[in-house]
């Protein structure tokens, strides 16, 4: 798993959103992006993290940032998750986990002594030029909003 560094160019993204539309990271050039990866839609930690970001949308807008969530869930599951919690931002279906691998968030995990491959919950702040301004590997659901907000407020 290759870890990224602040200042690196954000890896490209080309995935379907919860409505089936193709979304590319390049569409957001000139905007700040809060990109977060979560293991599975509609599970407790992922719901906590996603709802916290949804509640922070007005604050994110003031900081000129859009929020994008990514998980290995299908387009249909992403849509159900969005509708159930009225999240109000883009959710991307990375079913082949290619984007997760590019960001260094696909790795070995352990649950109840069982090892498996999955998403390591992480968040990234991407500046207007497409460079990584903040990287938070293994971020807790409750720490996502404070950490990305701090990075966004410190950007020029």
Per domain, the residue ranges of the chain are: 14-154
What pLDDT sits at residue 1? 58
DSSP state of 25: G
Query: Could you name the CATH architecture of 14-154?
Result: 3-Layer(aba) Sandwich (3.40)
Cα separations (Å) of 127 from 9, 40, 89, 92, 155?
10, 26, 18, 19, 8
What pLDDT sits at residue 83? 97
Tens-binned pLDDT, residue by residue, of the chain (156 aa): 578 999 999 999 999 999 999 999 999 999 999 999 999 999 999 999 999 999 999 999 999 999 999 999 999 999 999 999 999 999 999 999 999 999 999 999 988 899 999 999 999 999 999 999 999 999 999 999 999 999 999 999
Q: Which of these, 20, 14, 26, 15, lies nearest to 126 by C-alpha position?
A: 26
Model confidence, pTM? 0.96
46 included as an active-site residue: yes
Catalytic residue among 46, 125, 135, 152: 46
């Amino acid at each position: 798993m290759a870890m990224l560094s602040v200042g690196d160019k954000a890896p490209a993204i080309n995935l379907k959103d919860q409505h089936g539309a193709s979304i590319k990271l390049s569409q957001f050039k000139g905007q700040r992006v809060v990109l977060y990866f979560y293991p599975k839609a509609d599970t407790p930690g992922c719901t906590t993290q996603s709802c916290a970001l949804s509640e922070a949308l007005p604050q994110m807008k003031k900081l000129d940032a859009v929020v994008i969530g990514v998980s290995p869930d299908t387009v249909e599951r992403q849509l159900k998750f969005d509708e159930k919690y009225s999240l109000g931002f883009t959710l991307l279906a990375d079913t082949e986990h290619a984007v997760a691998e590019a960001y260094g968030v696909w790795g070995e995990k352990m649950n109840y002594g069982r090892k498996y491959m999955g998403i390591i919950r992480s968040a990234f702040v991407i500046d207007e030029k497409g460079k990584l301004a903040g990287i938070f590997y293994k971020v807790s659901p409750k720490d996502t909003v404070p950490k990305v907000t701090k990075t966004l407020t410190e950007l020029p």
